[in-house]
Amino acid sequence: MTLGRLGRLWQIQRVIRKYGLLEFIGHKPTRTEPRGQRLRRALEELGPVFVKLGQALSTRPDLLPADIALELTQLQDRVPPFPGREAKAEIERVLGKRVEDLFAEFDLTPLASASVAQVHAARLKPASAREPGLDVIVKVLRPDVARMIRRDVNLMHLLAALAERWIPESRRLCPREVVNEYETVIFDELDLMREGANASQLRRNWIHSDIIYHPLVFWDYTRPSVLVMERLDGIKIDDVARLKALGVDFQVLAERGVEVFFKQVFRDNFFHADMHPGNIFVDVEDPKKPRYHAVDFGIVGSLTSSDQRYLAENFLAFFNQDYRRIAELHVQSGWVPAGTRAEAFESAIRTVCEPIFQRPLKDISFGFFLMRLFQIARRFQMPVQPQLVLLQKTLLQIEGLGRQLYPELDLWKTAKPILEDWMRTRLGPAANLERLRAQLPVLIEALPQLVPQALQRLSESGGSAVSHKALEDFRAEIRQGQQRNRRLIIGATLVLGAVLIYGLDGYRPWLVFNAPLLSWLLGGLGLWFWARSARSD
């Protein structure tokens, strides 16, 4: 262990003692200040990595004592700022012009300050004297933030490696893989060009939505350490008293938040993964149909198609109390160790879930459910899936926020139709035909190469021991297989053409006769080719 790491460990231990945090593990209290305030100040002193941890904890008042959760909310956008003149100097350095030449107005006092960067209000210079300039925000990275984060991430790597070596129970949690995932996420957050690209992608995905709005990025003013975006007006989502005074429908607001999350995950496969209250505002132009304004896009997530499918099926199986299906999915996905009996896993899941389902769905906390599932995971030595950690954190944030707004929130009721629609779209006949259409050119192009490749491999594996008759028999089988494949491809093409013609909804100016009849003829002919292919097996 290097002297630098030993020094950092000593500093962490010093801060723990300075703020009397041993109280949290059963030691006698030694300080009179409120414990939540002491924890918040300790995290601030330890730096960006620890502030991020506090931000994540602040979104779960249902899992933390209320006094601690409330105090940690100050970490969302009220971290002590750095001097505005330093932000101004960085803007001028990277953009190569004076701030006065770039903006009509620039406020040296930050609007908000977080662990990685702080935000200043500004106004762009108007195109002409008769036009008002556009209000924007200018986000600037904290000085030396990359070095501080690298120091703590390196320490986390060391602690993870030591844990895996000396604490066998920790291996199931995959600490090194989890730290690797966290390292990628937090260093991506240090590139504000990447954040601008994330914002632009989310804006495209939801450009016509009346549920959520994402700001416009001004790329001419954006660099890796400076980001300029449209300034959005709105009320902070945790300002419940003000929202209530304006007559906001909290049920609609909470359900729309759940809808946004599940559509981002399953429809778009691109989700905003830092949904703490400091990053969410509410447009109350129509209080009965409140609209979200999202900011801060440094952390986003996406999943592989197989993880998407397994998650959707797991959620739906949970909604339907189909514990057998949940067990099968975990075994099939490799999320449980090889050799795990589905029956035993099913029994354990039933033991956890049945008491939960004695209550109405709206009263079921996903956070509580996850904690019970983690108990099962420990029993079955099920490793943590690092690629899902970000998703789990975001879902817990969404549920915690939704329950603050509307305690009667039924997360499952809102999510289930979205998941069912995604499953139909992903696995239905139309989706299969689309995948077949996309793969047909590649398959047709590859067919002529299959015979020589197969003969070459056969020759290499069998050598001179392969008889002339055996080769001829093999060639005959290949030719028969080619004919069968041709029939399959022709049949698929005809059926696909039939579906496309039938789905033109009356717009068929290029057809000189009855289109439905033609589609039935093509479909029937395609099925005949498939039948011929099956008979030739």
Return the closest-CA partner of residue 310 out of 279, 295, 331: 331
Task: Map 232-253 to HEC letters.
Answer: CCCEECCCHHHHHHCCCCHHHH
CB 64 within 8 A of CB 56: no
Give the pair of three-digit tokens for residue 74.
């100050």
Q: Are strands 226-230 and 212-213 parallel, antiparallel or unpaired?
A: unpaired
Catalytic residue, chosen from 274, 283, 296, 410, is: 274
Return the closest-CA partner of residue 314 out of 391, 253, 390: 391
Give the pair of three-digit tokens for residue 305.
């198609």
Return the closest-CA partner of residue 395 out of 279, 300, 258, 253: 258
User: Is 274 an active-site residue?
Assistant: yes
Beta strands per DSSP E along 274-343: 280-283, 291-294, 300-301
**Which one-letter amino acid corresponds to residue 491?**
G
CB 106 within 8 A of CB 122: yes
CB 151 within 8 A of CB 360: no
- Which segments of 321-466 does DSSP mark as H helices, in order? 323-333, 342-356, 366-379, 386-405, 411-427, 429-462
Our measurement of the distance from residue 346's CA atom to the centroid of its chain's CA atoms, rounded to an integer in Å, reads 28
Return the closest-CA partner of residue 116 out of 197, 224, 271, 16: 224
Instruction: Please give the DSSP secondary-structure letter assigned to residue 263.
Output: I
The residues, ordered by sequence, that sit 6+ positions from 368 with a Cβ below 8 Å of its Cβ are 62, 356
CA–CA dist 274, 294 (Å, integer): 10
CB 154 within 8 A of CB 97: no
State the first-to-last Cα distance of the chain, in angstroms, to the nearest integer.
66
| Helix axes 48-58 and 35-46, enclosed angle (nearest 10) | 140
CA–CA dist 253, 297 (Å, integer): 21
Give the pair of three-digit tokens for residue 60.
């779960």
Rounded (10°) CA dihedral 378, 379, 383, 388? -60
Sign of CA dihedral 53, 59, 65, 70: positive
CA–CA dist 244, 16 (Å, integer): 39
Catalytic site positions: 274
